[in-house]
Amino acid sequence: MSNENPYAERDIPTVINAVGEQTRISGTLMRKEVSEAMQRASEKYVHLADLQAYAREFITEVTGAEAGLVTNGAAAGLTLSAAACIAGTDYRIANQLPHTDGIPNKILIPVAHRNQYEVAYRVAGAKLVGVGLNDLRNGLEEVEPWEIESAISEDTVAVTYIDRPHNQLSLATVVEVAHDNDLPVIVDAAAELPPTTKLTRYIDTGADLVAFSGGKAIRGPQTTGILAGRKDLVESATLQSLPSGVAEETWENGPPSKLVKTDNLPGMPRHGIGRPMKVGKEELIGLIRALELYIEEDDEELLDDWNARAERIYDKLAESSQLEVIVMEEEDPAAVSTVQVELDGAGITAATLIQRLINENPRIYVDESRMQENTFTINPKCLSDEEADYVCERIDSYIC
Ligand SMILES: *Cc1c(COP(=O)(O)O)cnc(C)c1O
């Protein structure tokens, strides 16, 4: 076998990504420098705590947070956030997670922020409690500050927040209510980059823990994420993820002591809830290298590049008189333009076209979120110009 293409060699179809960073079609592509760093990382042994100690300092610099941890995806960052908010510095609680009988474990979530990823909090034993309504008609607010306040009880350990364009509730408001009640705020910022300024924005606004994906905009390994935040909480998350299993003396005086304080531990820590979410040395170095390159990124240049590709796709598809094509410019100037294609009168429905594109080899994935309106969307971010042209040709071949 050659090293040319490990997928083709095994008859595994590859994907042309016209939808944007999505986990199931493998996130983003790492830069060459990242895979090279990972290759070199695989050639030496290293103590994972030494690597995490380096990463912690670097994440601190990049995010402005007090501490940081590399996690197995942003999702593990959310699980460890819940574990940290439930256990805090009480190792006896940490050691029994995810079992939380008789232990405060409720995380408040504005209902308009609810999404599939909340299972990540539940993995640690958290129970989610919705607040407010998902009824945004007639200028109704999704959640009023007093509603959050009145949902707080003895059992509440945190409030969680996600920054989406349709959410009206500001993070500053949530932080104010939560902090007035001595509760931390967890922000799921997995998919919020770019722009790079968001690496610091949530921490600046007062979030106590923020989780980013390493395998989306940062272009690190798909199995990495960053957890940034308050020192005591990140240390709790760290303690619950560090591999253990050595004599107490070696642990206390060895590399882990750079990451967590051992004074208030009742004894040698056992593996915690984070152990099944291990990050390996190759991924740790890959994430660090990717982040080094990401913070040098020129947000405007990148956006101009994507938007030029959206125009290119528009120009190609608009040539077909059967298609109603528009370029959607987002209200948010930092958001990428996408191309929306409506298929009424094109001789094929969006649902059929999307299915056909998926079943080609290579598979082509477009955004199907408007499929019910007989429309599909092309996102230019994860395409090269050549791939963009190829996608347009393939679409055109189905139009009659
Ligand atoms: C992608 C995503 C996650 C999970 O991130 P991973 O790095 O894949 O674990 C969590 N929350 C939201 C909103 C996401 O989009």
C-alpha of residue 117 to centroid of ligand 1, in Å? 7
Q: Which segments of the chain have a pLDDT < 50? A: none
Per-residue pLDDT tens for 331-375? 777 789 999 999 988 899 999 999 999 999 999 999 999 999 999
Rounded to 10 degrees, what is the CA torsion of 366, 368, 373, 379? -40
Q: Are 21 and 27 in contact (CB under 8 A)?
A: yes
Atom of ligand 1 nearest to the CA of 23: 8
Quick one: pLDDT at residue 198? 96
- Distance, CA of 232 to CA of 44 (rounded, Å): 31
- Distance, CA of 83 to CA of 210 (rounded, Å): 14
- Distance, CA of 176 to CA of 164 (rounded, Å): 19
End-to-end CA distance of the chain: 42
The pTM (predicted TM-score) of the whole model is 0.95
C-alpha of residue 261 to centroid of ligand 1, in Å? 30
Quick one: pLDDT at residue 1? 52
Least Cα distance to 210 among 78, 66, 57 occurs for: 78
Atom of ligand 1 nearest to the CA of 78: 10
> How many Cβ atoms sit within 10 Å of the Cβ of residue 143?
25
**Beta bridge mates, 364:** 16
Mean pLDDT of the chain: 93
C-alpha of residue 33 to centroid of ligand 1, in Å? 24
Pocket (CB within 6 angstroms of ligand 1): 23, 73-75, 115, 117, 188, 190-191, 213, 215, 225
C-alpha of residue 213 to centroid of ligand 1, in Å? 6
Atom of ligand 1 nearest to the CA of 120: 10
C-alpha of residue 328 to centroid of ligand 1, in Å? 24
Least Cα distance to 193 among 72, 287, 334, 56 occurs for: 334
C-alpha of residue 190 to centroid of ligand 1, in Å? 5
Quick one: pLDDT at residue 337? 93
Q: Are 227 and 237 in contact (CB under 8 A)?
A: yes
E-strand stretches of the chain: 15-18, 67-71, 106-110, 127-131, 156-161, 185-188, 209-213, 225-229, 324-328, 338-342, 363-366, 375-378
Residue 160: phi and psi, rounded to 5, are: -115, 155
Tokens coding 116 = 């599939």
Which residue's alpha carbon is at the smallest distance from atom 12 of ligand 1?
Answer: 190
Atom of ligand 1 nearest to the CA of 224: 7
